[in-house]
Amino acid sequence: NGAALDGSAAAGYLESVPASIWDRRRDGSYLTELLLGKGYEVHGLIRRSSNFNTTRLDHLYIDPHNVGKAQMKLHYADLSDASSLRRWIDVLLPDEVYNLAAQSHVAVSFEVPDYTADVVATGALRLLEAVRSHLASNPGRSIRYYQAGSSEMFGSTPPPQSESTPFHPRSPYAAAKCAAHWYTVNYREAYGLFACNGILFNHESPRRGENFVTRKITRAVGRICVGLQSKLFLGNLSASRDWGFAGDYVEAMWLMLQQEKPDDFVVATEESHTVEEFLEAAFGYVGLNWRDHVVIDERYFRPAEVDNLKGDSAKARRVLGWKPRVGFPELVRMMVDRDLELAKREKVL
């Protein structure tokens, strides 16, 4: 079963591994690295996909340096299948469950709102219920639950946004994340479950899905540099986001589950930049002018936009002792460097 090896704690996290259009933050790979480093046994639940894509995880379960230690194992499950969730919790007996699964693309959620609600909102409820019912029939067991919330829940509420800021979601994705947030609070209050909401502001990395704006830009910069493309089609350049590094943010997730009491935390850099500023930084880093390459395309505008996100993460800094290590310019450079490498490789192929 999933019980501890070497006396270490067993953990499970959930993140559907996607067909390529279902882009996501790839937090699961960063969290897995963190947990393996701490001696956890990690089980990832992935959904069946016609395009089996575990590239971000491959290094974790084939890394020869991990031989002899607890390593990651992958299992099929689905947030739309309650029985699969309960079964894996019964079999793996995790001490910690991280729910990172989502249809996480805001614009796509307007195209598939019902599916988004099913996975993001009802999926979280199914998982909470699987944890609750498992604990009810297994007295003496304990499971700590992490729910991946999103700054998108704040939507049109003006910044700075903290734990006490009212939500005003602006997309089916954001509305579904609000429901999942409140299910988590409710299971904590109703059943005494150790359940935490992490309200994470945008967090990026070289592993970010290619249709999120940061990665779309850095990937284009790489490909423009090596001559694989010349234009980049974008939507609204004036939106502001509080962009941090995913590798820093997974540490906050873990810290939340190590506290004495479950609670909700905003995780943010407390610095906001427009999409245009991201363009300046990314193109500027390689000596290009973004204005020579960017073309505005109406199709990338959203039916309702979130204009300005900037977090107030004072509580996480005070209670968890967390703070981001990677700043905005460093994040941009890290992503451009990686995408330049990938573009060079693509050019050779």
Binding site for ligand GDP (CB under 6 A): 106-107, 152, 202, 211-214, 216, 234-236, 239, 241, 275, 300, 302, 305-306
Least separation, in Å, of the C-beta of 316 and ligand GDP? 20
Q: Which residue is nearest to ligand GDP (CB)?
A: 239
Min separation Cβ 278 and ligand GDP, Å: 8
- Whether 189 sits among the annotated catalytic residues: the reply is no
Residue 21's SS3 state is coil
Active site annotation includes 173? yes
Q: Which of 173, 183, 187, 249 is catalytic?
A: 173
**142 noted as active-site residue:** no
CA distance 263 to 104: 23
Backbone angles phi, psi at 334, to 5 degrees: -60, -40
Q: What is the DSSP string of 33-100?
A: HHHHHTT-EEEEEE---SS---HHHHHHHH-GGGTTS---EEEE--TT-HHHHHHHHHHH--SEEEE-
Among the listed residues 29, 84, 104, 150, the single catalytic one is 150
CB of residue 332 to ligand GDP, shortest distance in Å: 14
Q: Say if residues 184 and 99 touch (Cβ distance below 8 Å).
A: no
Q: How far is the CB of 99 from ligand GDP (least distance, A)?
A: 18
CA distance 119 to 138: 27
Task: Map residue 120 onto helix, strand or coil.
Answer: helix
Question: How far is it, in rounded angstroms, from Cα 141 to Cα 139?
Answer: 6
Specify the residue, 107 or 342, whose C-beta has the smaller distance to ligand GDP: 107
Distance CA 199, CA 137 (A): 31
- CB nearer to ligand GDP: pick between 178 and 239: 239
Determine the Cα–Cα distance for residues 160 and 309; give it in Å rounded to an integer.
7
| Pick 210 or 330: Cβ nearer ligand GDP | 210
Cα separation, 193 vs 143, whole angstroms? 8
Nearer to ligand GDP, 43 or 241 (CB): 241
CB of 163 to ligand GDP, least distance (A): 19
Measured from the CB atom, the residue of 79 and 275 that comes closer to ligand GDP is 275
DSSP string, 255-314: HHHTSSS--EEEE--S--EEHHHHHHHHHHHTT--GGGTEEE-GGGS-SS---B--B--H
Is the Cα torsion angle 251, 179, 263, 190 positive or negative in sign?
negative
Pick between residue 220 and residue 252 the one whose CB is nearest to ligand GDP: 220
Instruction: From 240, 100, 235, select the one nearest 156 (Cα to Cα).
Output: 240
Q: Cite the active site residues.
A: 150, 152, 173
